[in-house]
Structure 1
Amino acid sequence: MAVEEELTKTKAFIRHVITGRWFMIFASCLIMAVSGATYMFGLYSNEVKTSLGYDQSTLNLISFFKDLGANLGIFSGLINEVSPPWVILAMGATMNFVGYFMIWLSVTSRIAKPQLWQMCLYFYIGANSQSFANTGALVNCVQSFPRSRGSVIGLLKGYVGLSGAIFTQLYHALYGDNSKTLIFLIGWLPAAVSFIFLPTVRVLSITPQPREIKVEFHKG
């Protein structure tokens, strides 16, 4: 009986942790940490240029659509107003995989060389997925920590800035210096992380805690 009671308490504790807002912010940090693929364009842009025979002006045009997708977040914001967070994250993960997977197929010559407008569309779709991940993770974490909005925004946006360095280390550790596989990594990793944490990031009804800011910055 004692063993069963301890097992029940352990399960209850694990369930409490997984369904709590602190685990949600942990999941959101992971989502944001792999959502900064647009910062790594310089690592594989030369591969896109040489593999598809583009000149610098063409590459600049592609880069424009990449930046347009990364900064045009109105669609994710509007969808977030009428749908739960998992819809936003699922859409972002799908767009990320489709966009960068098509770029990888094009660069590795697994499909016929696409038209320039198609490549611009692929980059736009892949980059625009970042705004869906940001909206799905950031907005709900801010709502779950109403007394610490500034700290939460700073923490999560900081992980977006670090994602370039995180991706670079993962890329070198897993694939060496093959920049084509970096595009593939950018395609599947953010999508996988978002899908794993779809049930975790959600709207929570919480009671603000006066000391939550001290917990966020507690030094052991």
Structure 2
Amino acid sequence: MSPNVLRWLSLVALLWLQSLNGTNLSFPAYSSQLKEFLSISQFKLNYLSFASDAGKVLGFIAGIAAVHLPLPLVLLAGGSLGFAGYGLQYLCIVKKMFTLSFPQIWILSFVAGNSICWINTACYIVAIDSFPVNRQVAVGITAGYQGLSGKIYTDMVHAFFYSSQREAASGYLLLNSLVPLVACLVTAPMLMRDAKTSSCSSRDVRFGFIVLFIITIATGVYAVATSLVPAPAVLVLVGIVLLLLAPIVIPVGVRVKEFMIARRTQHKVHDLEAPMEEDQTKEEEFDEKAIVGVKEEVEWTKLWRKLDFWIYFGLYLFGPTVGMVFMNNLGQIAESRGCVATSSLVALSSSFGFFGRLLPSLLDYFFSRNKYMPSSPVSMAVSLVAMVASFLLLLIDSDVSLYVSTAMIGVFSGALTSLSVTMTAELFGTKNFGVNHNIVIVSIPIGSFSFGSLAAKGYRDGATFSEGLDGKCFGMYCFQTTLISWGMFCSIAAVLATVLYLRNRKFYWHKP
């Protein structure tokens, strides 16, 4: 199989992996049931949510491992950690095969959260290596598919486990443990790390990405439509599976084209096309080596000396992390407002998050050479201002504002996640990207604990005020102060994004 076919096949494998790797995105759909199973308070539920994010503290180990180990092995390590973390919780909480203390369950959640870092690291490195000139596009699309995970797991649970709320919760734990491991086993042989050494005409690459964009947009539209309009869960799931399989047409098409060219060349008496193909190869090899848009290569051991790193760290802490904390608390926010369709909200946020993660890639691919195209920090600042507006909209007591705000936060939080991956490579280089980005996202567990505890305190105080049963809080005031605080944090992040742009404006002005 040729290198060109392999690198497209690798990208397809990444799409499959990422669409099943966001197991933490389904947590809001079963968090209320988990709270009842374990008979724990809102604070302890927040600690479990934090545990999943805290697993990212050790994410840098995955980055170091990716430097020294084959990427398929890194991938399988991630799948195995998730299998252990979620699987043991399933056997303990659902099957009652043994008893675990709360700290032990916390550790299992920590391990499950860390597993995502291993799979993400392998996926991002393969995407960057396979398409170095179009790395924003490749990384953005793969990150976008991870945003679909909440929707996919919700559909699977509705199709196979939704006879009761308790069975639904057990379904999430079981699927979270098994599905990513199976996906890793299936896709590990398809990963090609050194695909950047291959040559391919720029016309073929452009055509491949255009086809992929069409499939991706169709997938997103289908996900949003089936989240808003009720439909049989099995049929919805079948449609998602078919759309996930659709990108395989690209490597198949590349293979067919190569086969046809080889046959035509064998039957030519006068080989007139050989010089043209050689020129195409040389042109693409030149483009592949002329990797642009990287400010400097920074080793991870020296990252802490850079002021840009600390500004960026604060930006990630007060920006994308707040969006993740909102998603973690979405179940309780919906419950407190009397909305029972929590799983629908999770599917909605996941579907719009998919589009949000994809949007930077679309803009970069089609408008990157436009002088009016905003840089990554500016795009992040705009997204953060929109997040502030979304949190303020949530203060309105209506189901419409809840659904609209959830969709908006999904879009802009997804865009921030995609942009952050690219900005890490721009500011600190691609050589040590696997470690550097995992160090940046250490801000996630810090924010998850701090901002999540703030939400838990507001919820507890509201429950005391309303004398809610079993410590539950009902009413707009349960999260009112929390939502205002989250909006303020996003405002701080927008300011930091602006500062980051001003410090690096010369770099972004001269970036091709």
Query: Normalised by the size of structure 2, how large is the TM-score?
Result: 0.38
Kept in 2, the 8 Å contact 1:70–1:131? The answer is yes
**How far off is 1:146 after superposition?**
1.3
The residue aligned with 1:112 is 98
Kept in 1, the 8 Å contact 2:13–2:191? The answer is yes
- In the alignment, the residues of structure 1 paired with residue 57 and residue 158 of structure 2 have an alpha-carbon distance, to the nearest angstrom, of 28
Kept in 1, the 8 Å contact 2:4–2:198? The answer is no
SS in 2 for 1:114: coil
Alignment of 1:49-198 (within 5 A): 49-70=35-56, 72-177=58-163, 178-198=168-188
Could you list the structure 1 runs, at least 4 aligned residues long, displaced by more than 3 angstroms after superposition.
Answer: 15-19
**How far off is 1:16 after superposition?**
5.1
Aligned with 1:210 (options 202, 209, 215): 202
**How far off is 1:120 after superposition?**
0.9
- In the alignment, the residues of structure 2 paired with residue 215 and residue 185 of structure 1 have an alpha-carbon distance, to the nearest angstrom, of 32
Q: Which entry has the higher C-alpha Rg, 1 or 2?
A: 2
Equivalenced residue count is 206
Gaps of 5+ in 1: 1-14
- In the alignment, the residues of structure 1 paired with residue 69 and residue 14 of structure 2 have an alpha-carbon distance, to the nearest angstrom, of 18
- In the alignment, the residues of structure 2 paired with residue 41 and residue 184 of structure 1 have an alpha-carbon distance, to the nearest angstrom, of 13
The residue aligned with 2:33 is 47
Q: 1:104 to 1:83 in 2, by over 3 A?
A: same
SS in 1 for 2:46: helix
Q: 1:70 to 1:213 in 2, by over 3 A?
A: farther
**How far off is 1:109 after superposition?**
4.1
Overall identity of the aligned pairs, in %: 24
**How far off is 1:182 after superposition?**
1.5
- In the alignment, the residues of structure 1 paired with residue 40 and residue 91 of structure 2 have an alpha-carbon distance, to the nearest angstrom, of 16
**How far off is 1:85 after superposition?**
0.5
SS in 1 for 2:134: helix
- In the alignment, the residues of structure 2 paired with residue 71 and residue 32 of structure 1 have an alpha-carbon distance, to the nearest angstrom, of 20
- In the alignment, the residues of structure 1 paired with residue 38 and residue 169 of structure 2 have an alpha-carbon distance, to the nearest angstrom, of 14
Q: 1:208 to 1:16 in 2, by over 3 A?
A: closer
Kept in 1, the 8 Å contact 2:87–2:174? The answer is yes
User: What one-letter code is carried by the residue in structure 1 that aligns with 2:206?
Assistant: I
SS in 1 for 2:85: helix
Q: 1:18 to 1:46 in 2, by over 3 A?
A: farther
Q: 1:110-133 CA deviation, whole Å, 9 max, x = no partner?
A: 233311211111001111111111
- The answer to whether 1:21 aligns with 2:11 is no
- In the alignment, the residues of structure 1 paired with residue 144 and residue 22 of structure 2 have an alpha-carbon distance, to the nearest angstrom, of 10
SS in 2 for 1:113: coil
Kept in 1, the 8 Å contact 2:26–2:172? The answer is no
User: What one-letter code is carried by the residue in structure 1 that aligns with 2:171?
Assistant: T
SS in 2 for 1:107: helix
**How far off is 1:29 after superposition?**
0.4
User: What one-letter code is carried by the residue in structure 2 that aligns with 1:38?
Assistant: N
Gaps of 5+ in 2: 216-512
Give the alignment's Cα RMSD to 1 decimal. 2.0
Kept in 2, the 8 Å contact 1:52–1:113? The answer is no
- In the alignment, the residues of structure 2 paired with residue 48 and residue 165 of structure 1 have an alpha-carbon distance, to the nearest angstrom, of 19
SS in 1 for 2:191: coil
User: What one-letter code is carried by the residue in structure 1 that aligns with 2:209?
Assistant: E
Aligned with 2:19 (options 25, 33, 39): 33
User: What one-letter code is carried by the residue in structure 2 that aligns with 1:104?
Assistant: Y
User: What one-letter code is carried by the residue in structure 2 that aligns with 1:160?
Assistant: Q
- In the alignment, the residues of structure 2 paired with residue 101 and residue 183 of structure 1 have an alpha-carbon distance, to the nearest angstrom, of 7
- In the alignment, the residues of structure 1 paired with residue 54 and residue 118 of structure 2 have an alpha-carbon distance, to the nearest angstrom, of 14
Larger RCO: 1 or 2 (CA < 8 Å, sep 6+) = 1
Q: 1:18 to 1:53 in 2, by over 3 A?
A: farther
Q: 1:137 to 1:53 in 2, by over 3 A?
A: same
Q: 1:152-207 CA deviation, whole Å, 9 max, x = no partner?
A: 01100101111111111122112225221111011100110111111111313312
The residue aligned with 1:12 is none
Kept in 1, the 8 Å contact 2:23–2:150? The answer is yes
